[in-house]
Amino acid sequence: MRTAEIRQKFLSFFESKGHQIVNSSPLVPGNDPTIMFTVAGMVQFKDVFLGNERRNYSRAVTSQKCLRAGGKHNDLENVGYTARHHTFFEMLGNFSFGDYFKRDALHYAWEFLTSPAWLGLPQEKLMVTVYATDDEAFEIWNKEVGIPSERIVRIGDNKGAPYASDNFWTMGDTGPCGPCTEIFYDHGPDVAGGPPGSPDEDGDRYVEIWNNVFMQFNRDESGTLHPLPKPSVDTGMGLERLSAVLQHVHTNYETDLFVDLLQATARETGVPYNQETPSLKVIADHIRACTFLIADGVLPSNEGRGYVLRRIVRRAVRHGYKLGQKGLFFHKLVPDLARLMGEAYPDLLEGQAFIMAALKTEEEQFARTLDNGMALLEKSLEGGKRRLEGKTAFALHSTYGFPVDLTADICREREVELDMAGYERELAEEQARGRAAGTFGAVTQVEYNGDDTTFDGYEHSEAEARVLALYKDGVAVDSLQAGDAGMVVLDNTAFYAEGGGQIGDSGQLCGASARFEVSDTRKVKSAVFGHVGTLASGTLKLGDAVSARIDSGKRLATARNHSATHLLHAALRQILGTHVQQKGSLVNHERTRFDFAHNQAVTAEEIVRIEALVNQQIVANHPVGASIMKQDEALQAGAMALFGEKYGDEVRVLKMGEFSTELCGGTHVQRTGDIGFFKIVAEGGVAAGIRRVEALTGEGALAHVQHMEQEIRAATHLVQAQPGDLVGKLEKLHAEQKALEKELAKLRGKLAASAGNSLQEQAVEVNGIKVLAATVEGADNNALREMVDKLKDKLGRAAIVLASVGDGKVALVAGVTADLTGTVKAGELVNFVAQQVGGKGGGRPDMAMAGGTNPAGLPAALAAVAGWVGAK
């Protein structure tokens, strides 16, 4: 059975059991700072398990893209060395949100795996584990499903802390969690390894294929478990492992998809295809992770997710190098992967060119240092050393771009110990020196368990509301007094809370006796709005009635900028290409700032076209309409979903004519014509592969153009140009200036010649040498040099020093005729004078220059020159 067919069967089985088929979410979780990547199918349902979000189904099934390469779930270092670990993989999962629990979950799992109508796996090849104290799961497996007790293993807290167990699943340091039961497949005695719970359980013989988690708790930042509102089910089965079982092979790398990918890898690295070559497997695994990450909007960088991507790329490139491929090869695997997986993931096909370009840039960058880094590493291990010092690992990291796990990978291959503690020390010191690192910590939020806020601000600028909660310094209080800074939660509001790049509204909450000035609005939870500000007068108490009035002028200006951002996004994709993906945005009442993936600067000519296209859409005065749709339908209808945003099952689709369709919860104008006018004011790079455009709309854009016009008017006036002919006039002035400069140079030459004539007469004769030491008014270094040259010609055997004074500084040039340089050197001569005017200098024996800062010493210094020459 091919992998694609297995994926489909799983979805169909659970659909037949009343589950809603839901699309995979991106690898980057939306609005969740507690984890870097989607590590399991349940991530997109986290808020549903926690009871913060409701869907209109209580059973779901997915095939989810996952990445385990950083943070709590990290399989990176096992990749290539075991039969079953990957960085990127697909997880099949079925979910119950307070619907069925243990019994149904286990019966479903068994039916799908063993029923001849579905996968028909032999029962005797399967065994299971349960959490040590989970008698209920044990009984269901044993008594109801009929698994003999010797094939049910109880696993306790085997990872050194309460609930730290292979059979207690947690998403991250915080979040939904619970005991689990895992189903294992026995690949048979010809594969090394023991059953779960035995000392050699890490072998490849018994492979965990399916984990059924009984979601019962939410773990908080202190590690305390709080019961979830409703016990739920979350399961995860690795598609690649299941394919191996059903294709009767012992490793994931022998399955249909991987055999093709390994062959492509062998072709690009120039080695024979061989299942026993770990490096081929590492590269085949890593090209999937890297391609999918870039397709989901991540680009290589030095922090956070981008750094995980960079580490994976570099690890793959180093394995290519190990196979003898020193040229660029990794990005060339993208078309192979797109061919193999593009049907299930069409973005791979659409984004192929961009993904290749991004990977190629990263490969090129690392290729520049890889060779030298490897040389350093070889040198450090010379003489059969068995330990690599932390300092070296750190130098490899900081100078040659070797992520430490790459160095660890090499050390492991060579059975060399890596001084990790030493490396960490060096790193900590460097960090202390101020280098930033990406941080992913849990957000601190206020405690709130009350009702949701109804948002009534799309149509209205004012709402009648009641105070549900008050906070001062992050702590819940019963009342706020005049002067208190704090936060107010209302049951109903017209205030938009910051989200989707748009800043929160400001305005006022007016009660019978109190006025609260709102400076910002933020979400406390997905549907709970916090109004942040200061109580200007009176007392505000829980339960008080208030009128929540937004600052409408600011809101309208913000709406213009937000709507213009959608037009800009669509225009960028039309003019620069569909690889343009939003990377971030900030919309406020003053401007819009839009970051997007694009590999080169946007040219001035492209900016003109983008502005023209956006303004055309404004003039077309399209209606701006929002409608609520199912996410799948919206995406199918071509709505653009934005990077890092989390969307529920039902989404708000914002449409501007036929030109732009995006998922967006923000506030917008009613017709595009309301934007008035759109003007780009800045374009630049923010990171590798990411550009930033800043733009203004409406009155802001008008003010900008008026300001520029004022400048032009002032400039026109200044250069006395005819209106409309500023450039012509500037060109003319520029040409005139060039001609004047030439003329000036000529005149200087003449001046030097005539000054030379009169200076010539000031020369005195000392021992048959003409000595001239004089000051020339207003001459610069060039002029002095020219004069010295001319005087040398005229005077014959001569030693000359000319000086000029300007801005409190002395310039000196000395020249000596060639026949004299054996006795008098220009450098010494100029220094003799310079020392007396607070400076020094140097040059050739026949010509030298110097400067000084003490003009007062000059007359005496020049008067002493004849004596100094005479003494030579």
| Cα(158)–Cα(404) distance, integer angstroms | 28
Site for ligand GLY in 62-81 (CB under 6 A): none
- Residue 153 CB, shortest distance to ligand GLY, in Å, is 17
Of positions 90, 234, 336, 505, contacts ligand GLY by CB under 6 A: 234
- Helices in 381-522 by DSSP H: which ranges? 390-400, 404-414, 420-432
Q: Which is nearer to ligand GLY, 236 or 351 (CB)?
A: 236
- Alpha carbon distance 375, 377 (integer Å): 5
CB of 73 to ligand GLY, least distance (A): 8
Least distance from C-beta 97 to ligand GLY, angstroms? 14
Residue placing its CB nearer to ligand GLY in the complex, 24 or 716: 24
Q: Where are the strands (E) in 220-256, listed by range?
A: 225-238
Burial level of 406, CB count in 10 A (0-12/13-18/19+)?
A: buried
Shortest Å distance, C-beta 635 to ligand GLY:
24
Instruction: Count residues near ligand GLY (CB under 6 A).
Output: 7
Based on CB atoms, which residue is closest to ligand GLY, 169 or 329? 169
409 binding ligand GLY? (CB under 6 A): no
Of 513-552, binders to ligand GLY (CB under 6 A) are: none
Whether 19 has a binding-site annotation, put simply, is: no
664 assigned ligand-binding residue: yes
Which of 234/362 has CB closer to ligand GLY? 234
Structure tokens at 431: 């960090």
Q: Is there a binding annotation on residue 622?
A: no
Binding track over 164-183 against ligand GLY, x by CB under 6 A: -----x--------------
Q: Report whether 562 belongs to an annotated binding site.
A: yes
Contact, 40 vs 170, CB < 8 A? Answer: no
Task: Write down how long the chain is.
Answer: 872
Strands 515-525 and 507-511: antiparallel
Interface residue with ligand GLY, options 3, 82, 211, 502 (CB under 6 A): 211
- Cβ proximity to ligand GLY: between 62 and 269 the closer is 62
CA 248-252-255 angle, to 5 degrees, is 60
Residues between 180 and 209 with contacts to ligand GLY, criterion CB under 6 A: none
Site for ligand GLY in 30-59 (CB under 6 A): 40, 42
User: φ, ψ for residue 252 (rounded to 5)?
Assistant: -60, -25
Q: How far is the CB of 38 from ligand GLY (least distance, A)?
A: 10
Rounded distance between C-alpha atoms, residue 694 and residue 587, angstroms = 10
Site residues for ligand GLY, 235-254, by CB under 6 A, read 236
Shortest gap between Cβ of 233 and ligand GLY (angstroms)?
A: 10
The one among 140, 213, 370, 850 contacting ligand GLY by CB under 6 A: 213
DSSP 515-577: EEEEEEEEEEETTEEEEEEEEEESEEETT-EEEEEE-HHHHHHHHHHHHHHHHHHHHHHHHH-
**Closer by beta carbon to ligand GLY, 42 or else 61:** 42
- Least separation, in Å, of the C-beta of 84 and ligand GLY? 13
Residue whose CB is less far from ligand GLY, 157 or 491: 157
The distance from CA 176 to its chain's CA centroid, rounded to whole angstroms, is 27
The number of angstroms, rounded, from the C-alpha of 122 to the middle of its chain's C-alpha atoms is 47
Crossing angle (nearest 10°) for helices 390-400 and 404-414: 130
- CB distance 36 to 87 below 8 Å: no
Residue 165 sits at the vertex; the CA angle it makes with 163 and 171, to the nearest 5 degrees, is: 75
Min dist. Cβ of residue 210 to ligand GLY (A): 8
d(CA 4, CA 340): 10
Q: Which pair of structure tokens corresponds to residue 509?
A: 């909450």
Least gap, CB of 176 to ligand GLY (angstroms): 9
Q: Which residue has the tokens 């023209």?
A: 612
Pick 179 or 236: Cβ nearer ligand GLY: 236
Q: Which is nearer to ligand GLY, 235 or 672 (CB)?
A: 235
* Contacts to ligand GLY by CB under 6 A: 40, 42, 169, 211, 213, 234, 236
Annotated binding site for Zn(2+): 562, 566, 664, 668
* Residues flagged as binding site: 562, 566, 664, 668
